[in-house]
Structure 1
Amino acid sequence: MDYNAVSMFVTVAQVGSLSAAATRMGIPLPTLSRRIMELESDLKVQLLERTARGCRVTEAGSRLFEHASGGIEALQEAERSIMSEQARLVGRLRLSLPQSFEPWWELLGLFQRAHPDIQVSVYSTERRVDLFADGVDVALRVGAIADDTVVARQMLTFRHILVASPQVVERHGALNHPTDLSRYPCAAWGSTLDARPIWTLGGHAHKVSATFTVNDYLHLRARALAGDIVTELPSFLAAEHLKKGDLVELLSEHPFPDTPLNLVYRRQRHASTIVRAYLDFCSTHLSIIADKCKAPFDA
């Protein structure tokens, strides 16, 4: 049984509404609704009855609420006590983030609201900074970590997806296999001016004859939306435009590989209190961004 989902259920039962519970907990309503349905599926019982004015607990839900609410309240009190202590942290936190990694922006905002006395300085770059030389406390890094001077804490994995506008697909025909990309104008991410991009699709590497390269995914997204090119994007940068139909996913049966996302910090005997607070906060609140980082076919 997912105890985080139980905590969500208890909050819904207390306020009598999924939307009000989502607001109180600071999570998207669809995420809350899905987690409750998964809990009901795990327990093989209906816990909530949806009504015009909100929802009410079933008989089985009442039994679960009776047993769980006391424990949840005790844990919440412990959390409030700990957060109260952490809120008094004062100092500066120096972070490095990949460019355009939008889901993490929300997490940083929540962190600063929880710790208003911590000054956060962010250096956004596509290069892998040297934590010691650049004076960075914690870096968010995409990809495998092969550096024994740092400690890595894996947060999650995500995938890139191949996208284009419907107009591009209409002009150039159906795309059934990665070899068909030769008929399409392609653009790719590249860290140097002479980059020779390679896309790994369905476990096979394919050289990309890119008409355009840039080290900025927002620029690639703009060109895709303009109907100019086919390109790869992190799933979270494409999600809303896929829903609206401005972009379509291509070659979903030949997916990009999973990409790990890690927080890395300097290897030393004791991490600072502020660094530990940031690492623990990100781990605790990771569900806020986890769904956003899922590719459409993983949802």
Structure 2
Amino acid sequence: MDSLALNVFVQAAETRSFVAAGRILGISASGIGKSVSRLEENLGVRLFHRSTRSVTLTAEGEMFLERARRILGEFDAAEAELSQVSTVPKGRLRIGLPLVGDPFLPALAEFQRRYPEVELDVEFDNRKVDVIEEGFDAVVRSGEIEDSRLKSRLLGHFRMLLVGAPGYFERRGKPMHPGELSAHACIQFRMPDTGKLQRWQLRRGPNESEPQFATKLTCNSNEARLCFALEGLGIAYMSEFSVRAALDTGALVTVLDEYTTEQNTFRLLWPSGRQITPKLRAFIDFMSEYLPLERAHK
């Protein structure tokens, strides 16, 4: 028997619902049911009367509920005492990140240097992972995330830009309007999670149709489309943080700036039902301060 099994039992008893208990703890209703069944088997008594509509405590369950609450209280007190003693961030931290190198790889390297006792286990994937069910301590995702089981912190905003190499524009000329992109080589990005092409969100007038693109290359790697753009193979639609270094050196230049109005956000997400450990707190605070993203907007 462990604190999780007791916590499952107490939540199920107080809410009178496996579904509601699962929602609070970030566990499926079937997972709650299995945990309760294992606890009943270990104790050798039936704790709940179950029906299709509700669950209610048996006499034994009522008796055990008070004891379980006291045990969990002792767990919480012990955990609080230990957290005050051991405040150095250390241990394994499982993190989920999007399939992009910058700005995350330099940030992870610096975090590792500052907190050498933290073991980073990083998974790069654009799919929408289940943070709780898959055992992540935290994940970074773009856009607005609606999940009551998760807490989040805004890491910053970024803008999308149209970029190409100076040599490309010397050969082909610079487009002055999105409608001219049909005469240019466009480097398209296929979203790894959906297989669909990324939409170039460009400002249009009220009577203007969506511009047509002459696709030169299609890839599903951020590094690949950056490389192709640097090699002068065409125009790419990329996030500002991905091309900032190349823009600063002049290896890439932007076009149609007045038409590229799309902005997005990065957020750090972590389970809301758990106490934040020193290692996770260090990661949250570090990422919030270190990433070179715009934070002026609310």
- Given the two structures, how large is their TM-score scaled by the length of structure 1? 0.61
Identify if the C-alpha distance between structure 1 residues 197 and 104 changes in structure 2 by more than 3 Å, giving closer, same or farther. Answer: closer
Distance 1:168 1:181 in 2: 13
2:267 aligned residue: 262
CA distance in 1, matches of 2:237, 2:86: 44
Within the candidate set 250, 253, 271, 1:245 is matched to: 250
Distance 2:181 2:149 in 1: 40
- Partner of 2:136: helix, strand, or coil? coil
In percent, how many aligned pairs have the same letter? 28
Name the count of aligned residue pairs.
206
Contact 2:140–2:269 (CA under 8 A) maintained in structure 1: yes
Larger radius of gyration: 2
Quick one: structure 1 residues 206 and 91, their matched pair in 2 at CA, closer, same or farther if it must change by over 3 Å?
farther
Kept in 2: contact 1:200–1:206 (CA 8 A)? no
Matches of 1:197 and 1:105, distance apart in 2 = 23
Task: List gaps (5 residues or longer) in structure 1.
Answer: 1-83
Larger RCO, structure (CA 8 Å, separation 6 or more): 2
- Tell me what 1:272 maps to: 277
Secondary structure in structure 1 of the residue aligned to 2:103? helix
Any runs of at least 4 consecutive aligned residues in structure 1 with deviations exceeding 6 A, and if so which? none
Spell out, residue by residue over 1:165-190, the C-alpha distance to the aligned partner (whole angstroms, 9 max, x if none).
12222232231111111111111221
- The normalised TM-score by structure 2 is 0.62
- Tell me the equivalent position of 2:91: 91
Segment drifting more, 228-237 vs 103-112: 103-112
The reply on whether 1:199 has 2:200 as its aligned counterpart is yes
2:219 is the alignment partner of 1:214: yes
CA offsets 1:152-172 (integer angstroms, 9 cap, x no match): 211110112110112222232
Distance 1:278 1:244 in 2: 31
1:68-120 Cα distance to aligned partner (Å, 9 max, x none): xxxxxxxxxxxxxxxx964x233110001112232222322332233221111
Secondary structure at 2:276 match in 1: coil
Distance 1:137 1:206, change over 3 A: farther
Contact 1:220 1:231 in 2 (8 A): yes
CA–CA separation in structure 2 for the residues paired with 1:254 and 1:231: 14
Question: What is the letter of the counterpart of residue 267 of structure 1?
Answer: S
Q: Which amino acid aligns with 1:201?
A: L
